[in-house]
Amino acid sequence: MKYYPYPCKRCGACCRHVDLIAEMKTFDRGDGICKHLAADNLCEIYAERPPLCNGEYVYKKFFADKTVEEFHEMISQLCKKIREAEA
Ligand code: SF4
Ligand code: SF4
C-alpha cells in the first residue's frame, strides 16, 4: 500500500504529551512537552525525528493491515481526543 502523509494541522498537541508514550519519555522536557517542539508548533528535528513521530514508519510497522485512509482516520480521532483533553 502506497503511503501518503497524514494531513496534520500542526496544532502541536501530540508533541505536548510525549509523557504518555513510554518510548518517548526521554524527549519530555519535564512537563510532558517534547524538548524539540518549537514555538511555532513545528519540530526542530523533523528530518531526524524518532520513528514514532513518523506516520509512514508507524503505519508500515504497526498498521499495514489497514488502508492508509483507515490509519489516517484513526490518527484523526487520536488528535481530536488529545485536543479535547487539552481544552
Ligand atoms: S495532534 Fe494531530 S494534528 Fe496536531 S500536530 Fe499532532 S498529528 Fe498534527
Ligand atoms: S520529536 Fe518532533 S515530532 Fe516528535 S514529539 Fe518531538 S517535536 Fe513532535
Kindly list the domain boundaries of the chain, sorted by start residue: 14-86
Query: Whose alpha carbon is nearest atom 4 of ligand 1?
Result: 11
pLDDT of residue 1: 73
Distance from residue 58's CA to the centre of ligand 1 (Å): 14
Which residues are within 8 A (CB) of 57 and not within 5 positions of it... i.e. 6 or more apart?
51
Which residues are within 8 A (CB) of 41 and not within 5 positions of it... i.e. 6 or more apart?
10, 11, 12, 15
Tell me the whole-structure pTM to 2 decimals.
0.94
pLDDT of residue 35: 98
Task: For ligand 2, pick from 23, 53, 54 the residue to mutate: most ligand atoms within 8 Å of CB.
Answer: 53
Rounded (5°) CA angle 83-20-63: 85
Q: Tally helices (H) and strands (E) across the chain.
A: 2, 0
State the average pLDDT over residues 7-25. Answer: 96
Distance from residue 65's CA to the centre of ligand 1 (Å): 23
Per-residue pLDDT tens over the stretch 31-77: 999 999 999 999 999 999 999 999 999 999 999 999 999 999 999 99
